[in-house]
Structure 1
Amino acid sequence: MAELAKKPANIATIIVEEKLTPPWKEAWISFYKNRLALAGLGIVVFFILIAIIAPIIAPYSFKDQVLADRMLPPSSKHWFGTDDFGRDIFSRIVYGARISLWVGFFSVLGSVVAGTLLGIVAGYYGRWVDAIISRIFDIMLAFPSILLAIAVVSILGPSLQNALIAIAVINIPNFGRLVRSKVLSVKQEEYIMAARAVGMKDTRILLRHILPNSISPVIVQATLAIATAIIEAAALGFLGMGAQAPTPEWGKMLADSKNYITQAPWTLFFPGVAIMLTVLGFNLMGDGLRDILDPKMKQ
């Protein structure tokens, strides 16, 4: 009898515990079960740590030139070999992680802020406001992204900062259209209509209801966009329109070494692998977040 009396209480306790599980904890459990996403997170964290402790682990300064050590193959003295100026490639790649991650994070942050703002305004107010903003997005998307980035850098001048601005600008339409489509769906919900009916101001509706319920796809897109931004920064650096010498940006390192692909292939191999692994990490992590945050993927 005592065991039967305890059983309902235990069942109720289990149900309550399941209901009280925080959403972030459920998301982390789902993310943890996705081995590929976890591997992507590990790669991203690895490169972030490398960027943070670059001065500690780099055996040389990224700009030290020793012409007597030009084009040395990988060895115990120079783990990744040296380039055409005798600079240690390992040290330059380690410091280059700072630059690539900095460009990736902050260019996407600028795109997210501007794109989300424009997308919310276009989707919520509609009519001529939506028409103008949507046409601007369409015009920007009509150009290949790299050509638009080159045009922006050509106007501003070649530099790492201007490359960051260019990458941020070309990604604004992607976030803007994503947020706009989400807002068009959310603003038809009953709780939004109820908020309008009680006289809640548009600013409060946008900040308290529309934005929180539209941010999930933005997080996923932002994670994937960082990988794209790193590639675009490398492309601009390769074309000589991004980071300038002696900045150890990975794309610039590839550009400086392209003439030595047969003579010293390690000068291209290691920067290329660094770009590939970083982009792979963000892509795997983004796919994992999409599986968790996208309701269609859950179904």
Structure 2
Amino acid sequence: MARFRLLPDEQHARSPLLLLWREFARQHSAMSGLVLFILFFLLAILSPLLTPHDPYMQNDTLLLIAPSWSEQGLVQYPFGTDDLGRDMFSRMLMGARYTFGIALITVVGALLIGLLLGVLAGMSKGVKSSVFNHVLDLALTIPSLLLAIIIVAILGPGLLNTLWAIMLALLPQFVHSIRNAIAEQLNQDYVTAYRLDGASNWQVLTRLILPNIWERLTVTATMALSTAILDIAALGFLGLGAQAPTAEWGAIIADSLDLIYVAPVGVALPGLLIFTAVLSVNLVGDGLRNAMKKRREN
């Protein structure tokens, strides 16, 4: 009996993940964003091990040292020091843990809670679903930063309260996206056929709906991550988030703003890092969206 073997391309096409990766890898901008994203992720985890100096140690003999590329700079302090003699390079590295790392935690938390509430909203019917959806639509009209500021004003300033505030501020968009995705899946013919075979709501959810909406959840999470990074930095800059002497990028900008003409590095470097982190997340999110679109077309 003759045996047929799949060609390499056909083998890859059988796996949705491999096909998605192939479409994603063809985009140079998306791959560049992925490299930057992985770099920030590693910095958020390994920053305490990479800092050459204690980011909180003050030295009154090394105040406002210029960066090492300047004639007045020192090699031991690549980005110079601030007005308290603290190493700016170490503080920039440590800031990745607070700004980027906490943004990741808030997005994961908002995704998990939003998945639970989105399932309840999408699978429910009648008055309960109508009331829930109207409350959700009302919450979506409030910008996430404004909502986070209101929550922080109630809870009080601090990094932990900032985490909860941004998580709650991001929650409505996750619930809205998951609810719409579930509603679309429930209208599909294969879901109706599966229910006619005697499947329960739990079986429909776990075996059909969730496997088909994970791509949308991934794109939503990447877009929310860039919002979380900006919100954490904005709250730190306004003095509502990370408090001194925490080396958070937004708080560092606020502390260095009065010395912008004397030591512009203290404002430029954290601002550049925030911009690069948001850019990397947006590039990855756009790459995933384009890859999923091309995969569906093919």
TM-score, normalisation: structure 1: 0.90
- Matched with 1:232 is 231
d(CA) in 2 for partners of 1:234 and 1:73? 25
How many residue pairs get aligned? The number is: 290
What is the deviation of 1:14? 4.6
Structure 2 residue 121 is the aligned partner of structure 1 residue 100: no
Q: Which residue of 2 aligns with 1:58?
A: 51
Q: Which amino acid aligns with 1:240?
A: G
Is the aligned partner of 1:35 residue 2:34? Answer: no
Instruction: Please state how far the C-alpha of 1:102 moved relative to its aligned partner.
Output: 2.0
CA contact (8 A) 1:38 1:285 kept: yes
State the partner residue of 2:5.
13
Structure 1's consecutive aligned runs of 4 or more residues displaced over 3 angstroms after TM superposition are: 12-17, 294-299
What secondary structure, in the 3-state scheme, does the structure 2 residue paired with 1:69 have? coil
Question: What SS does structure 2 have at the residue aligned with 1:212?
Answer: helix
**C-alpha distance in 1 between matches for 2:241 and 2:186:** 41
The aligned residue for residue 5 of structure 1 is none
| 1:248 maps to 2:247 | yes
Residue 71 to residue 243, structure 1, CA distance change in 2 (3 Å): same
Instruction: Find the residue that maps to 1:74 and give its secondary structure.
Output: coil
Counterpart in 2 of 1:155?
154
Tell me how far apart the structure 1 counterparts of residues 12 and 63 of structure 2 sit (CA, whole Å): 63
In structure 2, C-alpha distance between the alignment counterparts of 1:46 and 1:107, rounded to whole Å? 19
How far off its partner does 1:49 sit?
2.3
1:263 has 2:262 as partner: yes
Q: Is the 8 A contact 1:238 1:251 kept in 2?
A: yes
Residue 141 of structure 1 aligns with which residue? 140
**Corresponding residue number in structure 1 for 2:181:** 182
How far apart are the structure 2 equivalents of 1:96 and 1:73? 20
**Structure 1: segments with no counterpart, 5+ residues:** 1-7
The farther-off stretch of 276-285 and 181-190 is: 181-190
Match of 2:206 in 1: 207
Per-residue Cα deviation, 1:224-276 (whole angstroms, up to 9, x for no partner): 21111011000010111111122111111011111111111011111111111
> In 2, Cα distance between the equivalents of 1:206 and 1:212?
9
* 2:131 aligned residue: 132
- The amino acid that maps onto 2:168 is V
Cα deviations by residue, 1:205-240 (Å, 9 ceiling, x for unpaired): 212212221221110110121111011000010111
The Cα shift of 1:42 comes to 0.5
State the one-letter code of the partner of 1:25: L
Aligned residue for 1:245, secondary structure, equals coil
SS where residue 275 of structure 2 aligns?
A: helix
Is the 8 Å Cα contact of residues 19 and 295 (structure 2) preserved in structure 1? no
SS of equivalent to 1:203: helix
Partner of residue 114, structure 2: 115
Root mean square deviation of aligned Cα = 2.0
Q: Is the 8 A contact 2:114 2:172 kept in 1?
A: yes
Q: In percent, how many aligned pairs have the same letter?
A: 38
- 1:16 deviates by 8.1
Provide the secondary structure at the position in 2 that maps to 1:211: helix
TM-score relative to the length of structure 2: 0.91
**Aligned pair in 2 of structure 1 residues 45, 77: CA closer, same or farther (>3 Å)?**
same
AA in 1 matched with 2:148: A
Name stretches of at least 5 consecutive residues in structure 2 with no aligned partner.
69-74
TM-aligned CA deviation for residue 296 of structure 1: 9.1
Which is further off, 90-99 or 69-78? Answer: 69-78
In 2, Cα distance between equivalents of 1:266 and 1:138:
42
**AA aligned opposite 1:18:** E
